[in-house]
Amino acid sequence: MGIFDLPEGYAEIKRVDLMKDKRTAVLVNISALLIAVLVFIIGIIFVPLNLKIDSDELIFLALKMLGVSAGMFVYIFVHELIHGAFFKLYSGRKANTGLRAYMLTRGATLIITSVSI
């Protein structure tokens, strides 16, 4: 039995392929956005925003946000590389991310970046 085979006594009930099932992919993404909004609202309740920002502080805040966004991008990239390395190590197969070049359009990049902030 390989790691891609189910143990004896187990049967596949359902398979989810977000690359082929666009409706489910959209529902998963909408759910993720709703969860992000909910977490943001909870954060605002517990730590209210201080909207009194001077123009000098605004530049510093923008630089901090840019730095955090860049750091998050690097973190996610390295995180996924680690997933791929261990997938290859333990399965002997190259990890298939399902990421396609057309997914990295300008609009998608703006949405991904704005959600991470």
pLDDT the model gives residue 116: 47
Query: Residue 65 above 90 pLDDT?
Result: no
Better-predicted residue by pLDDT, 13 or 108: 13
CB 116, CB 72: distance < 8 Å: yes
The identity of residue 21, as a single letter, is D
pLDDT the model gives residue 44: 83
**pTM for the whole structure:** 0.51
Assign residue 105 a region: left if phi > 0, alpha if psi is -120 to 50, beta otherwise?
beta
Confidence of residue 45 (pLDDT cuts 50, 70, 90): confident
Confidence of residue 109 (pLDDT cuts 50, 70, 90): low
